[in-house]
Amino acid sequence: MNNIIDGVTASLELKKNIKKEIEKDGLTPSLAVIMVGDNKASKIYVRNKKKACEMVGINFTEINLPETISEELIINEIRRLNEDDLVNGILVQLPLPSGFDEGKIINEISPLKDVDGLTYQNVGNLVLENECLVSCTPMGVMELLKMYNVPLKGKDVCIVGRSNLVGKPLIQLLLQQDATVSICHSKSVNIKDYTKRADVLIVAAGHPNLITKDMVKDGVVVIDVGINKENDSLCGDVDFKEVSKKASLITPVPGGVGPMTVASLLKNVVKAYRVQNR
Amino acid sequence: MNNIIDGVTASLELKKNIKKEIEKDGLTPSLAVIMVGDNKASKIYVRNKKKACEMVGINFTEINLPETISEELIINEIRRLNEDDLVNGILVQLPLPSGFDEGKIINEISPLKDVDGLTYQNVGNLVLENECLVSCTPMGVMELLKMYNVPLKGKDVCIVGRSNLVGKPLIQLLLQQDATVSICHSKSVNIKDYTKRADVLIVAAGHPNLITKDMVKDGVVVIDVGINKENDSLCGDVDFKEVSKKASLITPVPGGVGPMTVASLLKNVVKAYRVQNR
C-alpha cells in the first residue's frame, strides 16, 4: 500500500498550473525578497524561491541587506517596494538576525503585497473570512489535503503547535472547512488524548519524534510540518517509520509539506498581482 | 455548595473600579453608539450600555439612524466620528437591518476607536498578540474565569460555537493563557467527546438545552454565553438545572456573562481613551 503523500509531485503539478495560467493570461507578476544578513538556511530557502519563480515566470528580485543595517533602513526599503507598481509581492525572509523587531518590520509591508500573509491585516481578514493573502505553509497543507481528497467536514482534526506562521492560520482554514479543531502545544498536558482521536493530525512543533505510533489511531492522516536536523539529515516531528504503518496517508520529511510552501508562495504572488491589477 | 458564578456582582465590582479609575485620573472618555432602525432587543441593549456609561462617568452619545438610510450615509457618520477627537469609542449596534453589509460598515471604524474589537485590524492583532481592542463578550468570559480563579494553563477547554463575535476570539484568548483548546460547532459530529473531557466548557451556540448533564464531567466549569428566549423567559445553551449539579462552577442566564459584556465595553472605552491620549 502506498500511503505516502508526495509533496514533490503535488507541488510540481501546482507549479505547472501556475506557469500555464501566467502564460495564458499574459501576466507579469513579480516578487521581491528582502534578506538581512547571511543566515545559511535562509540563503537556501531564498535560492529555492528564486528557482521556483523562474520556473513559472515570476520576476524575482533579491535585496540583500547587511546584518548591521538599521531597522529604519529596512522599513524604508519596504516602503519603496510598497510604492513600486512593478512589485506585486514583498517577502522579508525570516528569521531576521536578533535585535530586529520582526512584527514591526513585517507590518510595514502593504497587506496587498504581503505574500507571506503575516501582516495583522491579512491575519484578521483570514479570521473574518474576507479576501486576504494566507500564510504559505498552511496553504500548502490545505492544498495537499485537497489533492488527496481527505474529508474534513465534521472530522476531528488535531493541530500540534500554535505558531503564528502555521498553527494559528490552520485553525481558521480548518474551521472554514467545517472540521472540529483542537490545538495542542508545549503547555498541553494530555496531547495523546487529542492526537489519538484525530482523523487528521497536523504537527508543527519542531520536535523530532514528538509523535509516536501509540499516539495515533489506525487510518489517521498525518501531515508533518516539522523540519528538524538530526545527524546531518532532515526529519519531521513524527516518527515516520513507525507511524506510517498505522496512517492511511502521511507526509514524508523532506518531500512533503516543504515543496508545497514554495508553490503556495507562487500562488500568492499571482493572486496579489491580480488584485493589484483589477 | 454555592457553585454559581455571579456575573452581576462581578460586573458591579468591575464598574466600581472603572469609575474609580476615571475619577482618580481625571479621564473624560466618551462612547458613541450608532443604532440603525428600531430593533426592540437592540434598543434594550443600547439603553443598558447608556446606563452603564453614565454610572461610571463615560460620556454617551446615541446616534439614531432610520432603517431607510443608505450604507454610504452610515459610513459618512462613522468617518465623522473617527475624526472627532472628543469621541474615543465607536460602536455600531448589531445586527443591522437586513440589506446592510455589516463587515464593510464595521471596518470603517478606526481600529483605535473600535471598542467592539470587530475590525479586521483588531482581530488580526489579537491573533498576533499585539496591543488591540478585544471583543467584549470574550473579554467578559475571561474576566469571570480570572475573578473565580479558574486555572487555564494546560487545561482542556472546549468552546462550542465558532462565531466571529465570541468563539473565534476566545480561541486566541485561551491559547494566550496556555489552555489546550478545542472548538466544536454545528458541523461537529462528536461534540460530546469534547465536552465530556473539558475542564472548562464555554458554550456560545444559541441553542437552548444544547448541553445536557450526560455531556459534562463532574467538576467542570461551565460558561454559558447563550441567550435564548423560551416562553417569554431567557435561558442559555446549557440545561442549567441538571448541569449545575455536576459543575464546580457555572454561569446562570441571565446574570452570568451578559453583565460582564457591558462592563468589558466600558473597559475598552477607557483603554481606547488612554491609547488616544498618550
The predicted-structure confidence for B92-106, as pLDDT tens digits, reads as follows: 999 999 999 999 999
Count CB atoms within 10 A of the CB of residue B66.
10
- Looking at residue A31, its pLDDT comes to 98
From chain B, pick out residues whose CB is under 8 angstroms from the CB of A121: 120-121, 124
- Reply yes or no on whether B121 is catalytic: no
Of A112, A147, A178, the domain-final residue: A112
Do A134 and A272 touch, CB atoms closer than 8 A? Answer: no
> Does an H or E element contain B61, and which?
strand B59-65
Asked if the Cβ–Cβ distance from A185 to B188 is below 8 Å, we say no
Count CB atoms within 10 A of the CB of residue A75.
15
From chain B, pick out residues whose CB is under 8 angstroms from the CB of A172: 168
Say whether residue B22 is in contact with chain A using an 8 A CB cutoff: no
Q: Quote the cell numbers at residue B127.
A: 491573533
Indicate whether B127 belongs to any domain. no
Same domain, A101 and A166: no
Q: Does the structure show a pLDDT above 90 at B232?
A: no
Q: Does the structure show a pLDDT above 70 at B110?
A: yes
Give the integer Cα–Cα distance in Å for A116 and A218: 35
Asked if the Cβ–Cβ distance from B103 to A187 is below 8 Å, we say no
Say whether residue A162 is in contact with chain B using an 8 A CB cutoff: yes
The predicted-structure confidence for B177-187, as pLDDT tens digits, reads as follows: 999 999 999 99
- Looking at residue A259, its pLDDT comes to 96
CATH code of residue A74? 3.40.50.10860
3-state SS, one letter per residue, for chain A: CCCECCHHHHHHHHHHHHHHHHHHCCCCCEEEEEEECCCHHHHHHHHHHHHHHHHHCCEEEEEEECCCCCHHHHHHHHHHHHHCCCCCEEEECCCCCCCCCHHHHHCCCCCCCECCCCCHHHHHHHHCCCCCCCCHHHHHHHHHHHHCCCCCCCCEEEEECCCCCCHHHHHHHHHHCCCEEEEECCCCCCHHHHHHHCCEEEECCCCCCCECHHHCCCCCEEEECCCEEECCEEECCECHHHHCCCCCEECCCCCCHHHHHHHHHHHHHHHHHHHHCC
Classified as helix, coil or strand, B152 is coil
Q: What percent of chain B has pLDDT over 90?
A: 97
Say whether residue B184 is in contact with chain A using an 8 A CB cutoff: yes
CATH code of residue B240? 3.40.50.720
Give the integer Cα–Cα distance in Å for A149 and A223: 14
Same domain, B189 and B102: no
Testing the interface with A: which of B123, B133, B165, B196 to mutate, by most A Cβ within 10 A? B123
Mean per-residue pLDDT, A187-209: 97
Indicate whether B186 belongs to any domain. yes
Give the integer Cα–Cα distance in Å for A53 and A15: 9
What backbone phi and psi angles, to 5 degrees, belong to B183? -125, 115
Same domain, B150 and B229: yes
Question: How far apart, in Å, are the Cα atoms of B241 and each of A203, B164, B211, B235, B252?
Answer: 40, 29, 11, 11, 10
Testing the interface with B: which of A134, A160, A182 to mutate, by most B Cβ within 10 A? A182
In this prediction the ipTM stands at: 0.96
Number of domains in chain B: 2
Same domain, A143 and A75: no
Do A96 and A102 touch, CB atoms closer than 8 A? Answer: yes
- Looking at residue A231, its pLDDT comes to 85
Asked if the Cβ–Cβ distance from A185 to B180 is below 8 Å, we say yes
From chain A, pick out residues whose CB is under 8 angstroms from the CB of B187: 153-154, 178, 180
**A131: nearest CA partner in chain B:** B120
Residue whose C-alpha cell reads 492544498 in the numeric block: A143
Residue B230 — pLDDT band, cuts 50, 70, 90?
confident
From chain B, pick out residues whose CB is under 8 angstroms from the CB of A178: 185, 187
Q: Quote the cell numbers at residue A263.
A: 508553490
Q: Which of A153, A168, A175 has the CB atom closest to B127's CB atom?
A: A168
Indicate whether B81 belongs to any domain. yes
Q: DSSP for B171-237?
A: HHHHHHTT-EEEEE-TT-S-HHHHHTT-SEEEE-S--TT-B-GGGS-TT-EEEE---EEETTEEE-S
Same domain, A148 and A60: no
Indicate whether B124 belongs to any domain. no
Q: Does the structure show a pLDDT above 90 at B4?
A: yes
Same domain, A166 and A213: yes
Same domain, A30 and A70: yes
- Reply yes or no on whether B116 is catalytic: yes
Alpha helix ranges (H) inside chain B: 7-24, 40-56, 71-83, 102-106, 120-127, 136-147, 167-176, 191-195, 240-243, 257-276
Same domain, A90 and A156: no
Give the integer Cα–Cα distance in Å for A139 and A263: 9
Asked if the Cβ–Cβ distance from A187 to B178 is below 8 Å, we say yes
Q: Does the structure show a pLDDT above 80 at A1?
A: no
Mean per-residue pLDDT, A39-48: 94
Same domain, A186 and A140: yes
pTM: 0.97
Min Cα distance B120 → chain A (Å) is 4
Range of the domain at A106: 26-112
Indicate whether B3 belongs to any domain. no
- Looking at residue B1, its pLDDT comes to 55
Give the integer Cα–Cα distance in Å for B176 and B184: 19
From chain A, pick out residues whose CB is under 8 angstroms from the CB of B124: 119-125, 127
Indicate whether A10 belongs to any domain. no
Residue whose C-alpha cell reads 508533518 in the numeric block: A224
Q: Does the structure show a pLDDT above 90 at A230?
A: no
Q: Does the structure show a pLDDT above 80 at B277?
A: yes
The predicted-structure confidence for A49-81, as pLDDT tens digits, reads as follows: 999 999 999 999 999 999 999 999 999 999 999
Testing the interface with B: which of A171, A194, A200 to mutate, by most B Cβ within 10 A? A171
The predicted-structure confidence for B190-224, as pLDDT tens digits, reads as follows: 899 999 999 999 999 999 999 999 999 999 999 99
What backbone phi and psi angles, to 5 degrees, belong to A77? -65, -45
Q: Which residue in the list B116, B224, B237, B239 is annotated as catalytic?
A: B116
Q: Which residue in the list B6, B15, B93, B168 is annotated as catalytic?
A: B93
Say whether residue B178 is in contact with chain A using an 8 A CB cutoff: yes
Mean per-residue pLDDT, A179-201: 97
From chain A, pick out residues whose CB is under 8 angstroms from the CB of B128: 103, 120, 123, 164
- Reply yes or no on whether B93 is catalytic: yes
Give the integer Cα–Cα distance in Å for A160 and B255: 36
Same domain, A89 and A149: no
Indicate whether A276 belongs to any domain. no
Mean per-residue pLDDT, A104-109: 98
Same domain, B153 and B240: yes
Give the integer Cα–Cα distance in Å for A30 and A86: 7
Same domain, B156 and B85: no
Q: What percent of chain A has pLDDT over 70?
A: 100
Indicate whether B19 belongs to any domain. no
